[in-house]
Amino acid sequence: MSGAPVLLQHPSSLDHDTGPHPEQPARMVAIERELAARGYLGFARVSSPAVERSVLEAVHPPSHVELIERVAARGGARIDADTVVSGGSFVAALHACGGAVSLVDRLLSGSAPTGFSVHRPPGHHAETARAMGFCLFNSIAVAARHALDAHGLQRVLIVDWDVHHGNGTNDIFHGEPRVLFCSIHQSPLYPGTGPASDVGSGAGRGFTVNLPVAPGAGDPEFRSLIDHVVVPLARAYRPQLLLISAGFDAHAEDPLADCGVSDAGYGEMARSLRGAAAELGVPVGAVLEGGYALDALARSVAGTMKELGGVASSDGAVGVADVSGRALQRLGEFWPGLA
């Protein structure tokens, strides 16, 4: 493996217009400002392509893809109480999936040792034929399915540390032993799924690992589950690829849940998973899910990238003004909507 870590983004993430909503374009702006100020932690910035239709439809039936396309073409509508499709949402969701798929391609070709796909809408609640919970298409599931279908992998580990249960990913791979899905989530909380007793089905029985935590859980609980359950599971499963459904809404500052993970806690979880991947000699990539406290989200994304192999910026000691100037210039080129 060689090359720099990659950061996959696309300006269409700003065009998914949810109106007054916690899952808002400002999330992207907050992350971008934080990363720009930190020189993108040495990650190479890559524009995410739109996902190929055949790759998307390996998870989602054409009827579901066409529904989202049609609603967006009509100017948008509310799909359910939480989930909005706007005129720009279909294209944004295609690039969100394309970013995750491109991340997998880059990790498995060896062109990047690690990476982060930072898009909205998020994906882990989306079921095969149902958009829900702010999610339209399940980006990480599409990427994992692509790793099986196009790269012939036999073992993919998905670790979902978003505070909500990744019910979509859970269901998509429920009967699939080639994907070990492992989720840490607050319970009770939306969407109400993911008891520890749900362990998968059929050939996939035992390859779904749900780790619910009580409201109030913080760094000790999340870190303990990562270090004492997830990492030993990874050693036993020997994945060929490790993907993180990286939501940051278990943060203490997040308005949508009741957990207490800190900035440092996310960094420590990322460090543990990065260490496990290094020990197993496999690449690791993260795909953004939730996270609604804007500053905490931005700091936690940056902290996760640092532990996934980023280069720490120098905390102000060397050339920060220069780095920031160049970064902001690139920001303006990349996000034309931002001054």
Number of chain residues interacting with Zn ion (CB under 5 A): 5
* Residue in 16, 124, 125, 251 annotated catalytic: 125
Contacts of 138 (CB under 8 A, 6+ apart): 59, 60, 123, 124, 125, 126, 127, 168, 169, 172
Active site annotation includes 125: yes
Residue selected from 22, 115, 239, 247 as contacting Zn ion according to rule CB under 5 A: 247
Q: For the chain, state the CA radius of gyration.
A: 18
Please give the helix or strand (H or E) that residue 307 lies within, else none. Answer: helix 294-307
d(CA 74, CA 186): 36
User: Can residue 162 be called a binding residue for Zn ion (CB under 5 A)?
Assistant: yes
CB 281, min distance to Zn ion, A: 31
Single out the segment in contact with Zn ion by CB under 5 A; choices: 158-166, 224-232, 266-274, 311-319: 158-166
Residue located via tokens 């060397």: 318
CB 290, min distance to Zn ion, A: 3
Residue located via tokens 């540390």: 161
Single out the segment in contact with Zn ion by CB under 5 A; choices: 55-63, 107-115, 157-165, 228-236: 157-165
Q: What is the DSSP letter of 126?
A: -
User: Can residue 249 be called a binding residue for Zn ion (CB under 5 A)?
Assistant: yes
- Residue 7's SS3 state is strand
- Please report, as a single letter, which amino acid is at residue 118: V
d(CA 161, CA 158): 10
Residue selected from 290, 303, 309, 310 as contacting Zn ion according to rule CB under 5 A: 290
Single out the segment in contact with Zn ion by CB under 5 A; choices: 71-79, 232-240, 283-291, 317-325: 283-291
CB 289, min distance to Zn ion, A: 6
CB atoms within 10 A of CB 200: 21
Single out the segment in contact with Zn ion by CB under 5 A; choices: 18-26, 47-55, 134-142, 249-257: 249-257
Residue selected from 164, 185, 251, 299 as contacting Zn ion according to rule CB under 5 A: 164
Contacts of 315 (CB under 8 A, 6+ apart): none
Residue 29 or 297 having the CB closest to Zn ion: 297
Instruction: Please identify every residue annotated as catalytic.
Output: 125
- Which residues of the shown chain bind Zn ion in the complex (CB under 5 A)? 162, 164, 247, 249, 290
